Each structure stands twice: as structure tokens, then as C-alpha cells.
Amino acid sequence: MSNQAGHIHYSWVQTHNSDNINSELQQVQAKESMFYYFAYGSCMCPVDLKRSLGEKTHPYVIGTGTLKAYRLGFYRISPTRKCGVLDVVKDPKASVRGVLYQLPWRLSDRLDKREDVPQGGYRHEYVDIHCEGKVYKDVRTYVVVDKLLEEVAPNDWYFNVVLQGAVTCGLPEEYCWSLFHHMYQLQQRHQIRCSDRLAL
């Protein structure tokens, strides 16, 4: 997958071995309390999630999941990433694809810190996630507390991390392209506005 702006070039392959991951996850589950977490943005990328949680997260992936009656939007500017970042908002006609994790409770505070919960950036929302023929109840996800009225473009780094997570974890190709075009169009709109300002 690639675009003319040179953002990315990825192959549509699933890189993890589900049998090995399920075995590792069962070993962890037997030792400690766990919670379900649905990621739809940069946390879909286990490598980027590891940066915040301090350990490999591949073993905690249950699979790809669907959050029904919500849609994606870039309704927050991240103070650390300095760009628009993803949010989900209720929409009965839409759905959001993402990654379902089962994480140890000891990682909960680190995940909250990543999502800026202590500073009021995001808050917990508990949702139903459809994954591999089952419905998982009371799954934690994160929603923006003070939503912007208009979407703000992601920067190239966030663009790539989100798309890398979507592709690596095996989200449907059609959804990945839709996500790609959404982010690309926001960036194009931002560039046009910047050009218009400079022309004044």
C-alpha cells in the first residue's frame, strides 16, 4: 500500500502467529487479573503501544473487532503529538474497526496515562465489541472529553502509526483504505488552508 505523498508502503499481510500468541496469552491469564481493551487509533500498533506500556503487547491481542454505532473522527489536538488524534463518536449508521486486547490490570494506569486520562484528555467508555463471532461486553475504550467542533488533521508520524497498526493487525483492506483516505483528505484540507493564509 502506498500513496503519492510518500507516506507509507505496506504489504497486506498478517505478521503474527495466532497459535503462539493464544498460548502466551493463556499463560498470562492464568497468573493475573485482566481487562478487555478496544484500540482504534495508534494503540492498534503493538509496537507503539509497547512504547507506553513498557512490554511487548503482541501476546495480548485477541483479534480484530468491530464497535458498532460509532464512527471515527479527529476531534482532539494532542499536546504531545501536536496534531489531530482519533476519537470515536456515536453514530447509529456507522461502525469502527480496531484491535481487541486483553491486558493485565497492572498496565491499566499506564494506558490511562498514555490516553491523557489524568489531565482530562480522554475518558473510559465501556462498549460491546464483536470479535471472531463473539460479543465481548464491557470492553474499555477511550473517548475524547472535550471534543472539537471540527476535525483536525493528523501529522505524518501519527498517520503512519495508525495505518501501520491497522495493516499489521489484519483489519480489512477496504477499511484500511478508507482510513487512509480520511486522514489524507484531512491533511490536504489543512495544506490548502495554510496556503490560503499565506496568500493573504
Element (H, E) at 184: helix 173-199
Angle, alpha carbons 190-172-143 (nearest 5°): 55
Q: Rounded to an integer, what distance in angstroms lies between the CA atom of residue 22 and that of residue 117? A: 30
User: Any binding-site annotation on 38?
Assistant: yes
Annotated catalytic residue within 24, 32, 55, 115: 115
- What are the phi and psi torsion angles at 2 (to 5°)? -155, 165
Q: Is 40 annotated as a binding residue?
A: yes
Contact 104, 90 (CB under 8 A): no
Residues 169 and 63: their CA atoms lie apart, in Å, by 8
Is 41 annotated as ligand-binding?
A: yes
Is 70 known to sit in a ligand binding site? Answer: no
> Which grid cell sits at 66?
468491530
Q: Would the annotation count 180 as a binding residue?
A: no
Among this protein's residues, is 151 annotated catalytic? no
Q: Is 33 annotated as contributing to ligand binding?
A: no
- List active site positions: 115
Binding residues: 37-42, 158
- Residues comprising the binding site for substrate? 37-42, 158
